[in-house]
Structure formats: structure tokens, C-alpha cells
Structure 1
Amino acid sequence: MKLKYIKANPSGNTTVFITSPVPRHLYPSIASIIMKPEYLAAEQVGYIEPSLKITEGVHLEMMAGEFCGNASRCFAAWQVMKKGGTTNNDNIISLNIDVSGTKNILPASVKMTNDAYTYDVNVEMPLPQKILLGKDLELGEYGIVDFNGIVHLVLWNIKPDVKYIELAYRILSDIGISDDAIGLMFLNTQSLSMSMTPLVYIKNLKSLIWENSCGSGSSAVAAILSIKSRKNITQALLQPGGILTVNAVWDDDMNQIRKIYLSGRINFTSEGTLYIPSEDDLPR
């Protein structure tokens, strides 16, 4: 198979979009190849499809149908790069995007920079379905943020380790939360700048990745901080690949989070053709 692609770098969370038509049942197996070092060494893969929600628009379907904040920002920037749009006085283009893992159309704003392939992008994130706080003897204090498409556990000031994946699944199972994609967000509040190390596991791909940054995980941190403080939160989170900024808007009258925004810089690094094995030779 010959597939057209474009690759983006949102704070190190390298993302590949396949722009050629591909049957959905092949998404996971093709993604597993693209993520290999000998191909594009991407952290995640999404597929561009026609939108069923936006007239003459496009939809982003991630490799396991999950929601991804960084991919959503890349998707907004890709549409602006391909189609352009009318900027306001601040050189910003506003648009709505249709992405997997949420039923909502998400508002986004894309700010042009002096580099034709680099953008500053802000996306309004879907609100969590559940936010829970808890304690565990091994994990200590934790927060659970359940987005429709991925569940994140925010863990405070413990050394990042893959051994916590199994424990995380047990905790989620005990409270009746099940999702193919989960993230462990190791939050360090003891450093001068608040920092986070993201670990994401997608069960049906058997994909365990120490991501360089995580958009939905950053939003989960903002949600937990806002719930704990009962106030607006604006927080820059230093991650291995760079900085993402999150903003949670607290509503005193409703006693809940009203909006969450994710922002940061994106640059597109390559575009071309992939040569993928035929369907019969793809991994099962």
C-alpha cells in the first residue's frame, strides 16, 4: 500500500496523519507499523476521513478511536495550513474541528507565526465525564479523570514507572471504569516549575509509550487542580518534549468546571508517501 502522510511535532508528542483512504479495520495494524523506528517513529497515528458532522468537512479518527488533545491541535493547524482562512487582527484563524473520542465539535484557534509550518494552537477540550479523587497505599493521592475515549490517573510526586499500569487497571476496575486507552500522568509539584511525565497505554494495540507530552493528560491535571481548589487554573506544564499550557474555568454558581483549554506550539516536520505491507502481511 502507498499511503500519503504528514507528520507534526506538538511539544515532542510526534503525530502522523494518514491522508489517504484506509479501511477502518486496518487502522490499528497500520499504526503499529508507522510507529516503528524504521518507519516514522511516531508516538501516535490518526486518519483523516470525511466528516459526518461538518458539511464538506473532515474528521480525525485516532488509531484506537481515542481522544487526543495534541492530535486535535495538530488537526486544527493542518486544516489551516491546507485551506487557509480569514485571520483577525491578532493573526488568528478560528475554526471548529471534528475528532474521535468526543461527540462534540471542538472550537479551536490557530495563530500564524513567521514560519509557514509552525503554529500556536488553542483547542477547547471536551469536559470530563467523571472526576474522582482517591488514595492508595502504594500510589498515595491520585485523581481519576475520565474523558470519553481515554482515562487518566494523575499521580503526585512518585517516580515514574510502568509497574503502576497494572495497579491503575485494578483501581479503575474496582470503581467500574473501563477504557482501552489509559494514561498515567506523573505530576511533580515539588520542582521549581510544575512538571509532568506522561505514560499512555492502549490495550488493543499493546502500545505502551512514554510520551514527550500529552494534551488530554495535561487537561486532566488542570481538571484535578481546579476541582481541588474550586477556582480557575492556568498552568504551564513542563514535559519531556516541551511546555503545554492548560486553562480550566471554574463556575462558582454551578460548583463545577465550565471549560478547559489546551494550548501550545506545533510544527510540521515532514510530508510524503509511506510504503506499507499489503493487508495480508499486516500484523494481527
Structure 2
Amino acid sequence: MIRELSTLKRTIGRTAGFFSIVFLIAFIAFLIVDIVLLSPPELVQSKLTTNPSLTLPIKPIEIPDQPDPSTDSAIVLGPDLEPGETGNNNQVQEKKFAEADKNKQVQKVAYLTFDDGPSDITPYVLDILREQQVPATFFVIASLAQNYPDYIRRAVADGHRIGNHTYSHKYRLIYSSPQAFIDDISHAEATLQTIIGYRPTLLRAPGGTVGNLSKTLASELRSMGFILHDWNVDSKDTMAALMPAEKIRENVVEQTKSKHVAVILFHDGPGKTTLPEALRSVITELKQEGYQFKTLDHLYQPIVAIDR
């Protein structure tokens, strides 16, 4: 009887120990589930990565070479960083892409300019400009403007700009001295202001600035409020008494091929009867080449040959 009781006691002890272990395992499992399900994601993440020896291999990101935002000679892009900016690589790359996009969108602009008018040719020029919806700049001889004031007023009404091309256009007189030039353009200024109601500040020297104006005189003219303009495309419509329209077109188209900014010289003076036909074909071809048309007051940096 004593032996049987002893055997029963040992059996109960083993059974109790077994259930204790099972209970303990179940309790631990419950705690783990509780932590995972009830803890915030940040806590779970921190608990899962607290072992510094458990790291994953990281493959470096390959950044492709950036495009070179090269520019045309007429376009100047700013530096990658503005004053005060840090050299953060992301900022630099973003600016490069922005400048590259800007450069792709650069517009070609043609500035049509007409010297030596007005004359009987001027209304035909104005008709074509209106037909083509293209603005232009007229550098007028003020003594002729007195004879054709309505042409000048019509040009202004159509949205064109009027510039000073002296009063007399007599080379020996206007270039005899700096003061003679100033006197002549001042006379022209007063005459044109009477016709159009405002002071025209755009100024083109007959024959251009090179060989005619000194830098000192140019500086004085600017101090008087004048804005000097030469050109970088010559239609050469004065190279013959009557230049064929097709030749004028060829001269202009050939010279504009490599330019984003084209300041084109024409003459609407007396006898230039081939100009209207040439002008229509020039405008049509430049439009096909993607040019926009503006007046010279929109040109940020005037083309002045003596400044180069």
C-alpha cells in the first residue's frame, strides 16, 4: 500500500511539472502576440532592429550623367547656385534640369526694322505687316515724316514703334562734328514728337555706329535718354538701285540661319518698289523657321557695333 502511494505521488509530480512547462510556454507566446498586436508600429520596428549585427546589404543608387544645358550665343543662362545658396547636390541637379528645360524653350526672335522712310512705299509695307500680323520698328527721317505724317500715325496705330533716324540724313552735315549730330537728332526729336505725341527714344545712326559715332558721343547720347540700335542682319536692299525681291529674301534668310536674335535692316525709302514682295516672302519663311516677331523696345540688350 505504501509502495502504491509513492508511485502515485511521483506520477502526479511529473504530470504537474509537464503542465507547468506547457502553461509557461503558452504564457510566453501570449506575451509575444500581445506585444506585436498592441504595440505601435514604431515600437515594433525598433524592437525588430535593435540588434546592430542584423544589417541588410544596400545597393548604391546609380545616378545617370546629367545633360549639359549648352546655350546659344544669344542666350546666357545663370549659374547653378544663386548667392547665399548652399552646395546641396539636389539643388544643383534640380537647377541644371530647370535650365536645360528653359534652354529647350528658347524662342527665336526677329526684329524687322525699316530705315529712310516714310515714302510712297511705306503704306504697302504697313499693309503686309498688318496682313501677316507682325510688328516692326521704323527709323524715320523726320524731314520726310513732315511730308507723310499720316503714314507715321498709322504705323503707331498699328502697334509699330517709331525711331529717330535724324532730321536731314545728310552725312556731311550730321557727322561734321558731335554737336552737329546732336543738333540734327534733337530737331528730329521735336518734329516726331509733334506728329506722334511722344518722344521717340530709339535711335539709329545713318550708316550705323561704326565709323560714324565715337564711344564718347554714344555715351553722351545715352545720357540724353536715347537707345542706340544697329543691326546684325542686312537685307542689302540698297546695294543696287533696285534689288530683286528674291535676292533680298536670300540675303535675309542666309544671315538668320545661325541666329536666335535677328535684327533685320530694310529700307522703305523712295523707289524701293521690290521691298513689299520681298518682305512678304521673308516673313513667311521666318515663320516657318519658328521665329517670333517683336519691336526693338523688347530687345533687352541692343545690338550696337561700336560697343563690341
Pairwise same-fold verdict (TM > 0.5): no
TM-score, with structure 1 as normaliser = 0.27
TM-score (structure 2 length as normaliser):
0.25
Query: Which structure has greater strand proportion?
Result: 1
Give the number of the structure whose residues are more often helix, by fraction.
2
Name which one, 1 or 2, has greater alpha-carbon Rg. 2
